[in-house]
Amino acid sequence: MTHTETQRHRDELRLCASGSLCEPSVGLSPTTRVTANAFHRWRLRAIFGALIRILPRRAFPVKKQRKFAAAAVGLVGVVGYLMVTGMKDSAMYYYTPTELVAAVRKDASLHELGYKVGGRVVPGTVHYDQRTLDLSFTVVDIATGQTKFPVKYNGPLPDTFKEGRDVVVEGKFTRAGTFEASTVLTKCGSRYEAVEAELKAS
């Protein structure tokens, strides 16, 4: 190959590499045509290989987004369930002793709910252990004087708490018929008066 042919061969290869010649088999010398065709085959293989490497990476974010969306939906469901059950557990329903006993007799699942019950401490039923802070007494319906049930509470004894005093107890009514109180309020306290107003309003 002469110097001129060699230079032409190099120039034609530059055109092929730059993409200026879209069809390598047209207008090229026989020597350059073989080299150019091999070059284009190599370039196609290189491009195809690059696509094989790139496409999975581009597809991954889509899969990742789908997984994230599924996880988000699951999280929303869990949060919603916790909110509903939390609201159910923390809800307080206002009853008199008579109303509460009648309600749980009709539907035993109501034992799982929280209640505020207004009643009167039955004289002779108060027992308080200053060491363990365990308090037990019986509360009776103020209006009827008939329906009554025992109350258990653990905590400091309210200052104005005593036999015959009107109280409001907050807690749950067990299936055994005992009211397990988390709070005991006496009538003289301002907090009791606010609860009593809610009881009358309901």
Report yes or no on 75 lying in a domain.
no
pLDDT, tens digit (0-9, with 9 covering 90-100), for 129-183: 999 999 999 999 999 899 999 999 999 988 889 999 999 999 999 999 999 999 9
* pLDDT (0 to 100) of residue 187: 72
Position 139: which residue type? Answer: V
In a shared domain, residues 97 and 61: no
In the chain, the number of structural domains is: 2
Report yes or no on 77 lying in a domain.
no
Buried-state track 87-97, b at ≥16 Cβ within 10 A, e below 16: eeeeeeebbbb
* pLDDT (0 to 100) of residue 78: 57
Q: Which domain holds residue 117?
A: 92-201
In a shared domain, residues 178 and 129: yes
Distances 31 to 11, 22, 93, 115, 135 between C-alpha atoms, Å: 13, 18, 96, 97, 107
Q: How far apart are CA 26 and CA 41, in angstroms?
A: 16
Q: CATH number of the domain that 130 lies in?
A: 2.40.50.140
Report yes or no on 145 lying in a domain.
yes
Q: What percent of the chain has pLDDT over 70?
A: 47
157: CB partners within 8 A, 6+ apart: 128, 133, 135
In a shared domain, residues 27 and 101: no
> What mean pLDDT is reported for the chain?
72
pLDDT-flagged residues of the chain (< 50): 13, 15-35, 58-59, 81, 84, 86-89, 189-193, 195
In a shared domain, residues 186 and 107: yes
In a shared domain, residues 104 and 151: yes
In a shared domain, residues 119 and 30: no
pTM above 0.75, yes or no: no
3-state secondary structure of 145: coil
